[in-house]
Amino acid sequence: HNIGAEAVSPGEIFMTLKAGIRSEKILYDSLARKEEEIAFAIDKGIKFFNFESLKQGILLDECAKKSTRKINAFVRINPGIFPKTHSHLSTGSSWSKFGVPVGDLDEVYGVAKDFKNIELVGVHYHIGSQLLAPEPYFEALQKIETAVEFFNGKGLKIKYINLGGGF
C-alpha cells in the first residue's frame, strides 16, 4: 500500500510501524526532539523528518551523520498568516512559536546548504486548526510558493509541500 503517516514521538513511530505503514512513508515531526529519539527514528528506517528551527535542522544533520545514513527533511515555514481562528489555535501567525518565519529563508538556506547527511526535499506549514474558510490556505500557499521558488533558485530542489491540516 501507499499510505503514509506523521508521527510525533517514538511511541507513535512504533505504533505506525505495527500498523503496517512502511518506514519510508513516515514523517517524524516532534517539537521536543531529543538526540536519542532521532536516533531511534533513523534506526527504524524513517526517511522523512521535519524541523521547525535552524537548531533542530543542525541536530538532525548531526544525528544522521552518527548513524551514517542519509535522511530527507522538510522545513516548517511560518507564513505569518492569522487564519481568523482562536489565537491559541493559530499556528501560522506572526506571533506563533511554530516554524521558521518566512522572512528567515536566507538563514534556512545558509544552514541547509551545508547539510552533509540531509537532503532538504520539502517545506511544511500548518496555519492553525478549526479553520472555516479556504482563503487563509490560499494566502499561506502563495507565501510558501515563494519559499519553494527561493530554495529552488538556490539549488535546493524542493519536491514536496506539506499543507498541514486544520480545515
Summarize pLDDT for 50-108 with one digit per residue, the tens.
998 899 999 999 999 999 899 999 998 887 674 565 454 444 445 455 568 888 899 99
Comparing C-alpha atoms, which of 88, 82, 76 is closest to residue 140? 82
User: pTM of the full predicted structure?
Assistant: 0.84
Give pLDDT, residue 166. Answer: 60
Q: Give bridge partners of residue 113 from the DSSP assignment.
A: none
Q: Can you say whether the dihedral through the CA atoms of 147, 120, 138, 29 is positive or negative?
A: negative
What are the DSSP E strand ranges found in the chain? Answer: 5-7, 26-28, 48-51, 71-78, 100-101, 118-124, 160-162
CA angle 93, 95, 127 (to 5 degrees): 20
Higher pLDDT, 39 or 90: 39
> Within a 10 A sphere around the Cβ of 24, how many other Cβ atoms?
11
Per-residue pLDDT band for 21 (boundaries 50, 70, 90) equals very high
Predicted local distance difference test score (pLDDT) of residue 90? 46
Task: Single out the residue of 93, 53, 81, 76 nearest to residue 6, CA to CA.
Answer: 76
* Nearest CA-CA partner of 54 in 7, 135, 108, 119: 108
DSSP letter for 45, please.
T
For residue 120, is pLDDT > 70? yes
Stretch 37-62: mean pLDDT: 93
